[in-house]
Amino acid sequence: MSSNSRIRKTLSQLILALDRFSFTTLFASCQNPLMKAFNQTCSPRWTRLWAVLWMTLSLVVIHPVYAGDALNSALNYHEISATLVSSGQISPSHIKSLPDEQIELVINLTVEDADLNAREGFEVTALGIDYIHIPVDWNNPTAANLQLFMSILDAAGDRKVLVHCFANYRASAFLYLYRTLRQGIAPEIARKDLDAIWPKPSWAKFPQWQAFIAERAP
The CATH number that applies at residue 111 is: 3.90.190.10
| Residue 168 vs residue 200, higher pLDDT | 168
Q: What is the mean pLDDT of residues 8-34?
A: 44
Asked whether the predicted pLDDT for residue 216 surpasses 70, the reply is yes
Are 61 and 143 in a shared domain? no
Highest mean pLDDT among 43-52, 62-71, 185-194: 185-194
Q: What is the mean pLDDT of residues 115-135?
A: 94
Give the pLDDT band (50/70/90) at residue 113. confident
Q: Report the chain's terminal Cα–Cα distance, integer Å.
A: 46
Are 141 and 56 in a shared domain? no
Counted domains in the chain: 2
| Average pLDDT for the chain | 80
Q: Which of 32, 48, 66 is the last residue of a domain?
A: 66
Q: Return d(Cα 202, Cα 190) in angstroms, integer.
A: 18
Are 201 and 109 in a shared domain? yes
Q: What is the dihedral of CA 106, 111, 114, 117, to 10 degrees?
A: -10
Are 79 and 139 in a shared domain? yes
Are 102 and 208 in a shared domain? yes
Q: Quick count: other Cβ atoms within 10 Å of Cβ 159?
A: 14
> Which has the minimum average pLDDT: 30-34, 82-86, 92-96?
30-34
Are 153 and 109 in a shared domain? yes
Pairing of strands 84-87, 78-81: antiparallel
Are 188 and 86 in a shared domain? yes
Are 56 and 78 in a shared domain? no
Are 198 and 117 in a shared domain? yes
Q: Return d(Cα 6, Cα 209) in angstroms, integer.
A: 40
Are 19 and 88 in a shared domain? no
Structural domain harbouring 55? 3-66
Are 62 and 80 in a shared domain? no
Bridge partners (DSSP) listed for residue 78: 86
Asked whether the predicted pLDDT for residue 16 surpasses 60, the reply is no
Give the pLDDT band (50/70/90) at residue 93. very high
Are 159 and 132 in a shared domain? yes
Give the pLDDT band (50/70/90) at residue 50. very low
Can you give the pLDDT at residue 118? 87
